[in-house]
Amino acid sequence: MSDPQRSAYRQPVTPSGLEAIEKGTLTWLDEDMYNNLNTGVLEQYLEEKNLRDSFEISHWDTKKVLIGILIGAVFSGVTAYIGLKIGLAVSAAWYVAYLLGMALQWSPSEINISTSATTGATNASIGFIFTFPAIFLLSSSERYKLGDVFLITSVDTFQIAFIGIIASMFAGFLGVMYFIIFRRVWLVEDPLPMPGFEATLKLLDISADVSTGAAEAARSSLKTVGISTVLTMAFMFVIDYPIKWANKMAHIPSSLADWLAMSLSGDDWGVASIYTERWIHQPSRLSDGHAVAGGITMYEPGNPFSYTFLGIELSPTLLAIGWFMKFRVAFLVNLGSIVAWFYLIPIVVYMDVPIYDPAVPMPGGGYGGYVPVTDYPLAQWKAFSSIVRTVAIGAILGGGIIGLLKMAPIFKGIFGDIASAFAGEKGEEFIEDKGWYEWPLTHIPIFMGIAFIAIIVVFALGGFPVLPSVIFAVILLTTTFLLGAIAVRVMGETGIEPVSGTSFIVLLLLLLIFLNVDVGLDKEQSVMIALVGTTVFGSAISMSGTVVGDYKNSLYIGNRPYHISKGNIMGVVPGAILGAAVAIFLSKLLADGAIDLQAPQANAFATFTIILAEGQGNLSALAIGFALGAFVEWATGMGTSFGLGMYLPTPITFPMLIGGFSRDWWEKKKLAPKVEAIRLKEGSAASEKQRALMLLFTFMIAAGALTGEAFYGVEAAILALLDGRPIGATSWWPAGRLIGFLLLNVILGFIIYVLFRKAGIIGVGSEDEGDDGGDSGGSGDSGGGSGAPAVIDAELAD
């Protein structure tokens, strides 16, 4: 076992954990494992253990994998809706797959492999959620009209759908393949923490209890997760469900919490001045008793709150992510937000910096000019979206590149693996007389060639000339590897993968080439191929993020990486087709104004594209951000996290800070004294076990928070879609909607109860269990695997 290098993420190994490693007694899902996550020593020990023992644990079952793919494909469409609605690609698919597997008494290994296919299906169409809608916005939305014309004059939906879906499939395969070679670097040698994976790991622990007959331990764990999930959904109902239907139709905050806030307000000030639609925010003057512009302070010279925006979203998911991050990482993410909202944005507004607006008539004819930022009512948000977010993209890029350069010694072995792959040599991925441990590296160069040719053919068949198709294929192969590495590192630090942040860089690169180099394209064709190409890239790095998340959990429970890769690859095709189809359908409705969705990333891409197409790109802001991110990376080792914080508004980042601070406070004030008292009374071994169990209890609560908000989000998305159909205009719909929502949850709860009772999870007395009870820490030979990324499948934005 090599001596792992120190990193910003490394946790110290515990004495009992080190002793168990030296004796070889530490095993999957036991207390010593939980106490030593992300130590590096543990990960290298488990990698060696898995090479020996995983073949007895990790088995492929095609029928169960197909069930996982079916769940993921269905939820890929739901995820598309949620992503367009709120800019947050949250999926409950992995949890549904976990619950089903547990109810059917699958082994943890089978659940993990099945859900790797589930997450492959849900992530294969992420590019269609964030980038693709910009095509329709630029072709038919009045907001992006250049005077009396559109930047894109016509769209052949079938043509671009064909290109995007087929190319995204090959790109998704490529994203999985590339990160086979990074697995050992970021999961074994220098393990990224990936905040939130502990929740998934705990669910696997519960499934081990169920499948091995330890039903009492499983009941206790499921009860905690279940209560947390139910309470979270109830909380979300209070703050989000449109109980006041008349308010909703008038575009006034309509939840029970909003109605209460407005009832406790006057015409100008009151509770609604500081609470609006899930946000506790800085004071804002009201209009007729309700907040204007979502509680954002309108620009008013001399009013300090109109130069920034500070708020906290009441999101259990964000608090849970902060809990997993702990304070240091959460603070560094927030440091980016603090710099953006306390320094950069106030300066931009105070100096009244001109902002480029494509709708402004030019004196000599044409459209597109600069407007002082204070001419916009929401000046601070215009400064954020137009200038500061460009700085943030540069910071993510600068921090990521410097971080990769700092890791150069670690990458020596990886580049050796790449060389071996091209030379056709065979490494440890194949074990004689046993089979494949991980996907063969020799397939990477082969598939690179296949993907290169396939993408050229697809774009050429779709109507683009061969030369730009070749250029894009080269860019895709290189950026998926390099920028994908940066995006995955951000995810490993924060639990959030910046899909649109890195996609902005690809869009910038493609537009600079196609708009300025004569490759046989006019301006409209250049914009089209750039946006379709960026869509394909987004799907590729989303697959990189999900496979690395799956690898992370599988390391701790003994599954073979080969099966994880295979599951993700199998999920790509159906997920790309169904998810893209839903996203395209919703994108057309969005651009036509037939459905009310925020689509923050799509709007940002549309704005960014117009700026670059009209020759007004702010490269100086990008360069400033690059330098800032590089400096923070050099100083703290967390430059990419800092850049992500700049990219997000404060209502998203501040709850993470609260969660991280709460975790540290709880460990110092509550956990440490109890553990120390046990150590003095019963010894170190007993104290470390109790520490692990207490931490696990908090992880189960956090798991319920994550899944509860995801479940509510899925249901709310379906109902919101129906709101925009003819049924939503009927007089009985508000009452029917509420009754249907309640009945849906009762029916789902009943189905889960029946499945779990049939599986012996609930409704069975302890007298029926015999001596099958087990410890909640799991057993060494029970096996297991990872599921989906436990936090957010893609990204938070806007």
Choose the most confident range, by mean pLDDT, from 150-154, 280-284, 584-588.
280-284
pLDDT at 617: 64
Q: What is the DSSP letter of 25?
A: -
Tell me the C-alpha distance between 699 and 668, whole Å.
17
Structure tokens at 432: 């004689």
Which tens digits make up the pLDDT trace of 117-133? 998 998 888 888 888 99
Split at pLDDT 50, 70, 90, the class of 91 is low
Split at pLDDT 50, 70, 90, the class of 675 is confident
Between these two residues, 699 and 676, which has the higher pLDDT value?
676
Q: How deeply is 796 buried, as exposed, middle or buried, from its count of CB atoms within 10 A (0-12, 13-18, 19+)?
A: buried
Choose the most confident range, by mean pLDDT, from 479-493, 506-520, 610-624, 712-726.
506-520
Structure tokens at 324: 């997993």
The three-state secondary structure class of 222 is helix
Give residue 351's Cα distance to chain centre: 35
pLDDT at 10: 64
| pTM (predicted TM-score) | 0.73
Which tens digits make up the pLDDT trace of 59-68? 899 999 998 9
Structure tokens at 130: 């964030």
Beta bridge mates, 431: 435
Which tens digits make up the pLDDT trace of 593-636? 766 666 767 877 887 788 788 776 677 888 898 899 889 888 87
pLDDT at 372: 92
Number of residues assigned to the chain: 798
Split at pLDDT 50, 70, 90, the class of 309 is very high
Beta bridge mates, 371: 355
Which tens digits make up the pLDDT trace of 498-523? 787 788 889 989 999 999 999 989 99
Other Cβ atoms within 10 Å of 6 Cβ, number: 10
Decide: 625 and 395 in contact? Cβ < 8 Å: yes
pLDDT at 565: 93
Decide: 277 and 292 in contact? Cβ < 8 Å: no
Split at pLDDT 50, 70, 90, the class of 9 is low
Of residues 110, 99, 5, 22, the one with CA closest to residue 66: 110
Give per-residue burial for 655-691: e unless 16+ CB within 10 Å, then b.
Answer: bbbbbbbbbeeebeeebeeebeebbeeeeebebbbbb
Which residue, chain included where needed, has tokens 């400033």?
Answer: 624
Other Cβ atoms within 10 Å of 424 Cβ, number: 9
- How much of the chain exceeds pLDDT 70, in percent? 84
For residue 218, pLDDT beyond 90? no
Which residue, chain included where needed, has tokens 């302070």?
Answer: 297
CA 701, 707, 709, 711 dihedral sign is negative
pLDDT at 49: 93
Stretch among 36-40, 690-694, 758-762 having the lowest mean pLDDT: 758-762
The three-state secondary structure class of 703 is helix
Instruction: Kindly list the distances between the CA atom of residue 405 and the CA atoms of 44, 485, 489, 630, in Å, as whole numbers in the listed order.
Output: 23, 12, 13, 11
Decide: 532 and 119 in contact? Cβ < 8 Å: no
Between these two residues, 435 and 789, which has the higher pLDDT value?
435
pLDDT at 430: 79
Tell me the C-alpha distance between 365 and 591, whole Å.
27
Stretch among 430-434, 462-466, 471-475 having the lowest mean pLDDT: 430-434
Which tens digits make up the pLDDT trace of 545-562? 888 889 998 999 899 999
- How much of the chain exceeds pLDDT 90, in percent? 28
Beta bridge mates, 313: 279
For residue 428, pLDDT beyond 80? no
